[in-house]
């Protein structure tokens, strides 16, 4: 594995200016190892951390690695290089949890946060600044992960060998463990030595994790200029991950050709136990084909914890404003590099033409969450030029006593005669005292509450929503109370957040819609990325085509199968001449709908 990796245009210039101009005492190393960093390391020498933490697996029987959407006690950052971005992260996160800042100059950080710079004066409530040494800003990659030894109790931190020659970074999990009083278990000693990185790791909270095949490459017994890799087969890697994380299904996908760091958080994100948010490129562009192939592989070979297929939500990845897509030497702009902080989502933003679509997709996928955009492409603070954004520079620590609520959202139904059963899994270390289903036909109105029944000794609870007439949309959420008195909701922001489903008319087929299955394209007039929402009551095959005013086809947005339910398709108006266009959805059976779009 060559850890020098591919570099984006302008990286050296960013490196040089960031070292001197951004209130930092640390070199602003990109996520990938540059020639400049290699020269630096070879000049000063590199002494890897030989031993740290507890180097044997956590001695518990029911290990469980937390998912990112679970309740967090703390968000962590290492203060360097991009203070304005980091101040915005602190400002939004301190409303939700404790923010722990690692700093080599505590006074400097305090002064910056409490100054009028970048968003105004901030108080330091819920902010803890810890003196520490570190090498870079990329705490997601070198930070530790929250693992519960006894399913939802006995919280510990688990950390791996870091895949960069940055020894101070590699020791930050021990600093965090000391600060919070948590044991840190590490995969740093044979036979459990494992190299891994947090940007290439996502867990569903129930024993499944995702990664790229980078984890195989960096544990294959090879070497780089600065280290020898651990030597393990894939089976041995899976066993180490299971022994330290409780992961029984470790999904590994081929690396992408244009993502030089091969971290999955640059193109996908788990939104819940059954939903993957996945980056989308125009047809044939950059990593789009490989991402699509990887998703096909996942859907063909793996299922959710309930045995159902994963739902895929696509979100457009924008080109660099002046440099194009990654295959055109542009920066790797992405909207999947976001982070959950309890009821808030911190989202990297770049420029309005694409940001508005990304924010809308998040808000539709996760109702009730506060989506906070943070500019990662601003002059002087273009952190995305270094191959990372918000997820890459943050990490979290889960709460000591999670109240788990897990539920597979109900799909649309044609049944207007029978009640709708709602099943959920609830768990807390003290046990569950009560579970309540809340439902409504208007999420801004009154909610009806129904006590759920404990269906078995496994933690499954059940209740029902009464049958409703065709055309009704039902909204609902689940509340749990532990024996300790702790109360929690799922979705977490409920009642502002909820799941919903529609009672649809089974006699209305695709060819009998009074209205088009296409919702209004937005934005319209269009100048850049434009979304065409689709809502199909049953799956069908067909095509989605764009025609100009002369009737000539100018773009084929999708051809093949269109799934039931909600989906989005995208066109790039910036590649089209100004003027009127017609978007046509046509099924293979001959049904056809259209809408007008104006490109300015």
Q: What is the pLDDT of residues 196-236, one digit of tens each?
A: 999 999 999 999 999 999 999 999 998 786 778 999 999 99
Farthest-apart Cα atoms in the chain, separation? 75
Tokens 């929402």 label which residue? Answer: 533
Cα gap 577→566, rounded to integer Å: 29
Using CA atoms, how far residue 369 sits from 96, 202, 558, in Å, is: 12, 20, 30
Dihedral in degrees, nearest 10, Cα atoms 25, 29, 35, 36:
-10
Q: Residues 259-279: what's their mean pLDDT? A: 97
Contact 438, 479 (CB under 8 A): yes
Q: Which residues pair with 158 in a beta bridge?
A: 145, 185
Cα gap 82→109, rounded to integer Å: 12
pLDDT band at 5 (very low <50, low <70, confident <90, very high): very low
Q: What is the pLDDT of residue 558?
A: 92
Contact 84, 385 (CB under 8 A): no
Q: What is the pLDDT of residue 110?
A: 98
Contact 131, 108 (CB under 8 A): no
Count of CB atoms situated within 10 Å of the CB of 233? 12
Higher pLDDT, 111 or 37: 111
Contact 156, 182 (CB under 8 A): yes
Q: Name 257's Cβ contacts closer than 8 Å, sequence gap at least 6.
A: 287, 290, 327
Please give the structure tokens belonging to residue 306: 């309930």
Q: Residues 561-567: what's their mean pLDDT? A: 84
Cα gap 251→298, rounded to integer Å: 8
Q: Residues 370-384: what's their mean pLDDT? A: 92
**How does pLDDT run across 483-525, given as a tens digit for each residue?**
999 999 999 999 999 999 999 877 654 444 456 788 888 778 8
Which CATH number applies to 404-502? 2.60.40.10
Residue 327, pLDDT > 80, answer yes
Please, what is the average pLDDT of the chain? 90
Q: What is the pLDDT of residue 99?
A: 99
Higher pLDDT, 516 or 316: 316
Q: Name 334's Cβ contacts closer than 8 Å, sequence gap at least 6.
A: 266, 267, 279, 317, 348, 384, 389
**How does pLDDT run across 166-190, given as a tens digit for each residue?**
888 899 999 999 999 999 999 999 9
Per-residue 3-state assignment (H helix, E strand, C coil) for 3-35: CCCCCCCCHHHHHHHHHHHCCCCCCCCCCCCCH
Q: What is the pLDDT of residue 48?
A: 67
Residue 18, pLDDT > 60, answer no
Asked if 404-502 and 510-599 have one fold, the answer is yes
Q: What is the pLDDT of residue 32?
A: 66
Residue 323, pLDDT > 90, answer no
Using CA atoms, how far residue 31 sits from 11, 199, 388, in Å, is: 11, 10, 7
Contact 144, 157 (CB under 8 A): yes
Q: Residues 408-420: what's their mean pLDDT? A: 94
Using CA atoms, how far residue 220 sits from 33, 193, 199, 235, 365, in Å, is: 20, 12, 19, 12, 38
Q: What is the pLDDT of residue 28?
A: 64
Cα gap 161→201, rounded to integer Å: 14
Cα gap 142→165, rounded to integer Å: 11
Residue 36, pLDDT > 80, answer no
Please give the structure tokens belonging to residue 92: 């939004």
Q: What is the pLDDT of residue 185?
A: 98
Residue 391, pLDDT > 60, answer yes
Q: What is the pLDDT of residue 511?
A: 46
Q: What are phi and psi of 112, to 5 degrees?
A: -65, -45
Least reliable range by pLDDT among 28-37, 112-121, 135-144:
28-37
Q: Which residues pair with 325 in a beta bridge?
A: none
Q: What is the pLDDT of residue 539?
A: 84
Q: Residues 131-136: what's their mean pLDDT? A: 93
Cα gap 100→90, rounded to integer Å: 9
Does domain 11-398 correspond to CATH entry 3.75.10.10? yes
Q: What is the pLDDT of residue 50?
A: 63
Q: Which residues pair with 406 in a beta bridge?
A: 425
Cite the beta strand spans of 46-113 per DSSP E. Answer: 64-65, 72-78, 98-103
Residue 394, pLDDT > 90, answer yes
Cite the beta strand spans of 126-261 per DSSP E. Answer: 127-131, 145-148, 155-160, 184-187, 202-203, 208-212, 249-253
Residue 9, pLDDT > 50, answer no
> CATH class for domain 510-599?
mainly beta
Q: What is the pLDDT of residue 14?
A: 36
Residue 13, pLDDT > 60, answer no
Surface-to-core class of residue 241, CB atoms within 10 Å of its CB (0-12 exposed, 13-18 middle, 19+ buried): buried
Instruction: Find the distance separating the first CA and the last CA of the chain, reported in whole Å.
Output: 46
Higher pLDDT, 31 or 27: 31
Cα gap 32→4, rounded to integer Å: 7
pLDDT band at 305 (very low <50, low <70, confident <90, very high): very high
- In the sheet that holds 268-272, the strands lie side by side as 268-272, 275-280, 311-316
Provide the residue ranges of all domains of the chain, joining segments of one domain with +.
11-398, 404-502, 510-599
Q: What is the pLDDT of residue 127?
A: 99
Q: What is the pLDDT of residue 11?
A: 37
Tokens 């100059």 label which residue? Answer: 105
Count of CB atoms situated within 10 Å of the CB of 371? 17
Residue 586, pLDDT > 70, answer yes
């Amino acid at each position: 594995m060559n850890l020098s990796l591919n570099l984006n245009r302008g990286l050296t210039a960013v490196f040089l200016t960031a070292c001197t101009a951004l209130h930092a005492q640390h070199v602003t190393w990109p996520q990938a190892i540059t020639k400049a960093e290699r020269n630096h390391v070879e000049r000063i020498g590199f002494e890897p951390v030989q031993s740290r933490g507890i180097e044997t697996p956590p001695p518990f029987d029911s290990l469980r690695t937390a998912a990112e959407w679970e309740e967090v006690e703390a968000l962590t950052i290492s203060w360097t290089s991009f203070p304005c971005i980091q101040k915005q992260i602190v400002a939004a996160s301190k409303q939700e949890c404790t923010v722990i800042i690692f700093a080599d100059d505590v006074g400097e950080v305090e002064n910056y946060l409490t100054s009028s710079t970048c968003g105004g004066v901030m108080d330091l409530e819920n902010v803890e600044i810890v003196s520490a040494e570190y090498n870079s800003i990329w705490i997601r990659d070198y930070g530790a992960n929250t693992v519960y030894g006894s399913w939802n109790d006995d919280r510990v931190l688990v950390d791996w060998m870091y895949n960069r020659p940055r020894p101070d970074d590699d020791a930050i999990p021990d600093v965090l463990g000391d600060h919070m009083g948590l044991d840190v278990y590490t995969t740093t000693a044979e036979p459990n030595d494992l190299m891994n990185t947090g940007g290439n790791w996502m867990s569903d909270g129930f024993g499944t994790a995702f990664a790229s095949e980078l984890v195989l490459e960096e544990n294959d017994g090879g070497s780089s200029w600065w280290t020898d890799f651990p030597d393990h087969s894939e089976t041995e890697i899976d066993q180490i991950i299971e022994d330290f994380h409780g992961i029984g299904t470790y999904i590994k996908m081929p690396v992408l050709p244009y993502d030089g760091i091969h971290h999955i958080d640059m193109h996908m994100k788990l939104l819940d136990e059954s939903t993957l948010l996945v980056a989308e490129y125009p047809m044939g562009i950059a990593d789009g084909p490989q991402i699509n192939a990887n998703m096909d592989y996942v859907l063909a070979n793996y299922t959710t914890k309930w045995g159902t297929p994963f739902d895929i939500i696509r979100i457009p990845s924008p080109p660099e404003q002046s440099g194009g897509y990654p295959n055109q030497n542009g920066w790797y702009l992405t909207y999947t590099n976001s982070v959950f902080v309890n009821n808030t989502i911190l989202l990297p933003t770049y420029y309005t033409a694409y940001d508005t679509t990304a924010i809308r997709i998040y808000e539709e996928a996760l109702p009730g969450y506060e989506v906070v955009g943070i500019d990662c492409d601003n002059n002087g603070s273009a952190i995305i030029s270094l191959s990372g954004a918000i997820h890459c520079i943050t990490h979290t620590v889960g709460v000591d006593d999670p109240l788990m609520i897990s539920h597979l959202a109900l799909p649309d139904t044609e049944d207007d005669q029978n009640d709708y059963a709602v099943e959920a899994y609830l768990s807390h270390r003290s046990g569950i005292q009560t579970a309540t289903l809340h439902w409504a036909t208007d999420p801004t109105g009154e909610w009806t509450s129904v006590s759920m029944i404990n269906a078995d000794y496994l933690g499954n609870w059940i209740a029902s929503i009464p049958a409703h007439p065709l055309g009704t949309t039902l909204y609902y959420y689940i509340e749990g109370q532990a024996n300790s008195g702790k109360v929690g909701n799922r979705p977490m922001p409920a009642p502002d957040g909820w799941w919903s489903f529609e009672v649809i008319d089974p006699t209305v087929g695709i060819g009998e819609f009074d209205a088009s299955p296409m919702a209004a394209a937005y934005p319209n007039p269009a100048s850049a990325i434009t979304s065409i929402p689709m809502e199909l009551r049953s799956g069908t095959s067909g095509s989605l085509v764009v025609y100009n005013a002369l009737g000539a086809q100018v773009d084929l947005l999708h051809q093949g199968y269109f799934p039931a339910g909600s989906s989005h398709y995208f066109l790039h108006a910036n590649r089209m001449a100004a003027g009127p266009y017609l978007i046509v959805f046509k099924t293979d059976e001959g049904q056809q709908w259209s809408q007008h779009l104006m490109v300015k």
